[in-house]
């Protein structure tokens, strides 16, 4: 069982799949209990967020040493960081809802890139994204168990 939980943890770190794919695989394919499946998926999904939020800026700074990348990032930041203070305050809240929607492309990978682009600092972005992951995990788990279908009918 522990090997399968580690697999679920690793699956949930992958872009696009994230916990939206890891939880159904854990419950349906590996036949793991619901609570450990949820917990390992959430923990695994948060790992990339930490690294992306901390290292996207240094990586872009490194790339800016080359003329082409410097022009690109200057153009990009000019458009995305116009109202940096407003984005930091309300953008972090937006990240909660963005990451909470359990659809492909709305997870922590894309949320981390959005936080970087809009200049939202780690300590604003990470707690909101963690909350979004917790909510998305609950929705995916409930859907996988058929609870959403029971409530809807």
Q: Give me the residue spans of the domains in the chain.
A: 46-152
Percent of the chain residues topping a pLDDT of 70:
91
Predicted pLDDT of residue 149: 54
At 145 the three-state DSSP class reads helix
Q: For the chain, which ranges sit under pLDDT 50?
A: none
Q: Which pLDDT score, from 0 to 100, does residue 85 have?
A: 67
Q: Are 109 and 97 in contact (CB under 8 A)?
A: no
Helix (H) or strand (E) holding 118: none
What pLDDT does 84 receive? Answer: 65
Using an 8 Å Cβ cutoff, are 19 and 137 in contact?
yes
SS3 content of the chain, % helix, strand, coil (to 5): 80, 0, 20
DSSP 28: I
pLDDT of residue 73: 87
pTM: 0.87
pLDDT at res. 83: 63
Written as six digits, the tokens of 101 are: 């929607």
């Amino acid at each position: 069982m522990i090997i399968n939980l580690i697999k679920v943890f690793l699956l949930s770190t992958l872009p696009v799949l994230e916990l939206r794919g890891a939880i159904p695989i854990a419950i349906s394919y590996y036949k793991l209990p619901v609570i450990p499946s949820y917990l390992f998926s959430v923990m695994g999904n948060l790992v990339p967020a930490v690294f992306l939020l901390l290292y996207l800026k240094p990586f872009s700074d490194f790339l800016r040493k080359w003329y082409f990348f410097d022009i690109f990032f200057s153009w990009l930041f000019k458009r995305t960081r116009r109202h940096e203070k407003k984005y930091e305050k309300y953008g972090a809240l937006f990240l909660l809802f963005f990451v909470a929607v359990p659809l492909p492309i709305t997870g922590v990978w894309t949320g981390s890139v959005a936080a970087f682009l809009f200049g939202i600092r780690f300590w604003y972005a990470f707690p909101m994204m963690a909350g979004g992951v917790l909510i998305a995990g609950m929705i995916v788990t409930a859907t996988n168990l058929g609870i959403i279908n029971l409530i809807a009918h």
